[in-house]
Structures are given as structure tokens and as C-alpha cells.
Amino acid sequence: MSLTRKPATEILADLRAGRLSAAALMEATLTQIDAVNPAVNAIVGLRDRDALMAEARAADAAEAMGPLHGLPIAVKDLVNVRGVRSTMGSPVFANHVPEEDDIIAARMRAAGAILFGKTNVPEFGLGSHTFNPVYGATGNPYDPGRSCGGSSGGAAVALASGMLALADGSDMMGSLRNPAAWNNVYGFRPSFGRVPGDPIGDNFLHQLSTLGPMGRSPADMAALLDVISGPDPRLPHAYASEPVAPLQAAEMKGVRIGWLGDWGGAYPMEPGVMELCRGVLPVLEDLGCIVEEVAPPFPAEKIWDSWIMLRSWAVAGGLAPLLKKGAPLKDTAIWEIERGMGFSAMEVHKASVVRSEWFKAAARLFDSYDALILPAAQIWPFDVNQPFPSEVAGQAMDTYHRWMEVVVPVSLLGLPCVAMPAGFGEEGLPMGVQMFGRRGDDARLLALAEAYHQATRWPEMRPAL
């Protein structure tokens, strides 16, 4: 196994023990990027090689700063990183070089990580397909002519192709889960508030998006989750949490798992998706889990209507000032902003009441189940030149993002959710499932996922790159 494809936990242990130098790891990382990134365009904003090697040698000469000391990490390009071009995939910020780190970057840097560049994203993170007018599109490592998903698409591709051992991501509407599924890696959406964002604008009302880790195993993700978790006194929802690393696989005997499938037919699925995802269930049963089919616990249309109102309202809150200034924005961003600006306060209130009703229904469901499982996507990776799918299994999509509706029940409630590989379809393309639980069940979910990982080890089925 090549150095850059080793588990992050093993790399970090070797760095701590002195069996591996940060300089050797940086050299191997940059060599791998040179070899595979031209085919997929996942790493962007790469810093100067000589400066990176000097920083790695300095890390070798210094005392360890923290648990990520000497580990190269490229940060998602929705995050500001001091001294690194940070564009959000938008021409508005094409030449933006921040003077300060955002919280997640600052925490990784303080833990000793060497922040060497960025991972590619859709413009402003909107849409689950990674392309933008600054850097272009990112291809799937299992077929560069296909989408890698998004918005954490560059991060997932870099993990799958051995350019990163750990990656940060974010998730509003499946932005961690969809690319994890399509790139045969893991992504973790923490309980809302566990990993704080930056205290910009309103910090009370919008609870749809969160930052989180990605990796080639749940144990790897746990190492990064501990670094980026924790309260910030400026943020009302951020909270303290117990460490999860080193992560141990859960005892699975008697664990109750509910299978939600396609939500009683509410979510159309391309041929092969449901069958492959259902294949996860026998694995869990063999581990000792009790798996049961679960009827739809809440009307899918109500969840969707609440979601798209609260989402557009949140997007408008962040991007409306740019639209008012006449900034060049993609059509889907303008659509979200104009929708969000058109809602009355009472319309938003009613949407949140529906969210509250769904939360109560989910709480009752978790009285019977330790975790629930759904497919992580409704379609296979599509043509990289297609902006977004207009239909799924012959059913027309009425928005640019409805083809990802299956992720919305989790996102609307801010529940913890781990995206897990499920295997490959007939064309050799990956697919995955999402397993979610109660708010605060982050450690339990990751331990369940680690037991599944040890039984399957899907990320070891690597792309040819």
C-alpha cells in the first residue's frame, strides 16, 4: 500500500512515533497530486511546493502541536484559509486571499495540520455537482467523465484517489453524503452545533448546514472530528462534546436498524440503486443487528415543502447582498435568493412548525430503533458536463436540486448521519447509504459505522488513478 493511501490513523501514529517524517509525507502527497490531479481536478489553490516542503521540515524540527501534527490537508474551498486563495468557486472571490482562518481551518492548523491548498466545490456550494467558473469541474475518480457529487466533491475525490488522508467538508443538502457515496469513501454530518461555523450574520435561526469530517474509514473521521468539534462563545448553538477517537467498533448484536428505503415510493430511484443499497442490510444482520423495514414516518411532501422554504430563506440571508450589488451569480443561486426574499415571516414560521412536527415524529421512531438507513443518493453519477439531472427514473424534477431529496429528512432536523459505501453498480460506479440517529448520538453512529467498515472495507476497492 502506498504511503498516501494508508489509513489516516496509521499515518498520524507514524508521525507521532517518528517512524515517518512530515517532509517525506509532504513529498509523497505532492507526488500523488502531480500524478492524479490533472485527470480529476480535485485539488485547487495549491501552495508553492518549496514553501510547503519548508513548512514540513519545520514541523519535523518542532515539538508536536497537536493530534494532526505534520499531516497535509487541503481545505474545502468554501472555507477561508489564511494566505491561501479562497474563492467559494465564484468569480466574485476569484482573487480573494484571506488574512485570517475560518474557525475550522484555525482548529486544524492549531492541531498541527499543514494546510497546503483547497478542494474544489460548486459555486457557493450550491448544487450536488462540483463545477464552477473559477476552476472548472471535478471528475469522478472511478470515471472522470462523470460527476463526483458535491459540494464536498473535491474532498471526496482527493480521498478516494490518495491525495488526502483526511478531509473537511460541509453538509446542507447532502454535500458530505452524496460525494461520499459517489466516491466510495465515508462522510459524517455531525449533530447540529457540535462543529461550529463562523459567527457571521444571524447565528440563531438557520440550522440547516454544518461542517464535518470525511475519510476512508469512520475511525479516520473520528480523529478529525475531535479536532474540529467544540463550543465557541460567540455561537449560541455550539456545544461541548466528549472525544470519539480512538474509535472502537460497536458491538452489533441486538442493535435495531430501521430500513426506510425509498420512503414508501416517494423518492424515485434509478435502476440498481435500491437493490445495491439494500445489500447493506444482510451485512448488518450478519453482524448481529436486527433489521426491519419501516413505513414512511412522516409525509415526504411536507418535509420537502418545509425544506425548500427554509433553505431558500437561509441562502438569501447569506447571498442577497451580493445580488443587490450586481455580482455575477449562477442562475440557481439567483433563483434561491429571489425565492428566499419573497417569503413572509409567517410563511417561514409555518415551515418551521412542520420541521418541529417531523422532529417529534423522528423522536418517536428512535424509541424503537438505534439507527435508520436510507440510500445516500437517488441516481448514479451523471455526465460531468450536465449541470444537474432534470429527471430521475422518468420522473421530472421541478427544481435544480430535487434529485437529491432523499437527504432532506436528515438535513431538516440537524441529525447526525454517516454516509457509508455500499458497493458498485453494473458500470463500476460507487453508491452508498446514509445511517442516522438522534441528535447527540454521534459517537454511537460512528462506532456502528466502524463495525460495518471492518466487515466490508469498500474503500480498499480503489480507482485506477
Question: Which residues are known catalytic residues?
Answer: 76, 151, 175
Cell 474532498, residue located = 155
Q: Which helix (H) or strand (E) holds 271?
A: none
- Gap between the Cα atoms of 256 and 253, Å rounded: 9
Number of H helices, E strands in the chain: 14, 17
Q: Which amino acid is at 193?
A: G
Cell 436528515, residue located = 410
Cβ distance 167 to 215 under 8 Å?
yes
Q: Which long-range contacts (CB under 8 A, 24 or more apart) does 226-229 make?
A: 226/67, 227/66, 227/67, 227/68, 227/107, 227/108, 227/111, 228/104, 228/107, 228/108, 228/168, 228/195, 229/190, 229/194, 229/195
DSSP string, 22-36: HHHHHHHHHHHHHHH
> Quick one: which of 4, 438, 25, 448 has its CA closest to 219?
448
> Quick one: which of 38, 149, 35, 125 has its CA closest to 429?
149
Q: How close are the terminal C-alpha atoms of the chain, in Å? A: 14
**Which positions ≥6 away from 291 have C-beta within 8 Å?**
257, 258, 259, 281, 284, 285
Let me know the angle formed at the C-alpha of 330 by 325 and 334, rounded to the nearest 5 degrees.
Answer: 60
Q: Which helix (H) or strand (E) holds 136?
A: strand 136-137
The C-alpha cell of 51 is what? 514553501
Q: Which amino acid is at 48?
A: D
- Gap between the Cα atoms of 413 and 208, Å rounded: 8
**Which positions ≥6 away from 110 have C-beta within 8 Å?**
65, 66
Burial of 22 per CB tally in 10 Å (0-12, 13-18, 19+): buried
- Gap between the Cα atoms of 211 and 151, Å rounded: 12
Strand pairing of 43-44 and 290-293? Answer: unpaired
The C-alpha cell of 446 is what? 460512528
- Gap between the Cα atoms of 110 and 118, Å rounded: 18
